[in-house]
């Protein structure tokens, strides 16, 4: 028996993009965990690590308000994390909904269709953009965290010596 995905995604073009999207988000997720591991003490991290992605991002943003890092680096990390939260909404649509043939617009095109939200779809072109955004954001977050780590990752007071 051939699965529906093989009937719809004949040349694996969707599968490749979805794989790249999930790899990029794996890096983004790891970046959030690295922040929490380094900034929180056990057992606090053990509890927060079990939160949903968006909740962990909110905790990190709140923590950044209490840590003494270069303001531009903090602002860059906060901006990147807010982008990640928005992008996670799209990632979740991809992760939790089927790739289908859209037969109703007359074009017989492949599309990801939400099971629970009427009218919410992701086209191949949108998936390309989402994937590129996630890959860029993953790099951006790692670079920003590297800058913060170089200045004193634990949020120790900044000195101008």
**pLDDT per residue as tens, the chain (161 positions):** 344 566 777 788 999 999 999 999 999 999 999 999 988 887 899 999 999 999 999 999 999 999 889 999 999 999 999 999 999 999 999 999 999 887 766 677 889 999 999 989 999 999 999 999 999 999 999 999 999 988 876 655 444 43
| Backbone phi, psi, residue 160, to 5° | -110, 30
Residue listed under structure tokens 């079990």: 50
Please check whether residue 109 is in contact with residue 102, taking contact to mean a CB–CB distance below 8 angstroms. yes
Report the candidate in 5, 24, 15, 59 with the shortest Cα–Cα distance to residue 131.
24
Give residue limits of the domains in the chain.
4-152
With a CB cutoff of 8 Å and minimum separation 6, the contacts of 115 are 96, 97, 98
* pLDDT value for 161: 38
Task: Look up residue 136 and give its two tokens.
Answer: 């860029």
Residue 79 Rama label (left phi>0; alpha psi -120 to 50; beta): alpha
* pLDDT value for 42: 79
Q: What is the pTM of this model?
A: 0.86
C-alpha to C-alpha distance for 14 and 5, rounded to whole angstroms: 9
Please check whether residue 17 is in contact with residue 127, taking contact to mean a CB–CB distance below 8 angstroms. yes
């Amino acid at each position: 028996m051939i699965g529906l995905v093989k009937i719809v995604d004949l040349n694996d073009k969707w599968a490749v993009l979805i794989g790249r999207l999930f790899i990029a988000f794996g890096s983004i997720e790891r970046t959030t965990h690295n922040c929490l591991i380094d900034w929180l003490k056990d057992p606090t991290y053990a509890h927060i690590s079990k939160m949903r992605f968006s909740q962990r991002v909110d905790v990190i943003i709140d923590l950044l308000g209490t840590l003494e890092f270069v303001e531009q680096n903090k602002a860059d990390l906060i901006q990147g994390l807010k982008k990640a939260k928005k992008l996670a909404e799209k990632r979740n649509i991809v992760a939790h909904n089927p790739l289908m043939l859209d037969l109703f617009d007359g074009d017989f095109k492949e599309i990801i269709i939400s099971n629970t939200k009427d009218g919410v779809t992701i086209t191949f072109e949108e998936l390309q953009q989402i994937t590129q955004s996630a890959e860029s954001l993953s790099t951006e977050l790692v670079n920003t965290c590297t800058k913060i780590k170089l200045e004193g990752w634990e949020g120790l007071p900044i000195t101008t010596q």
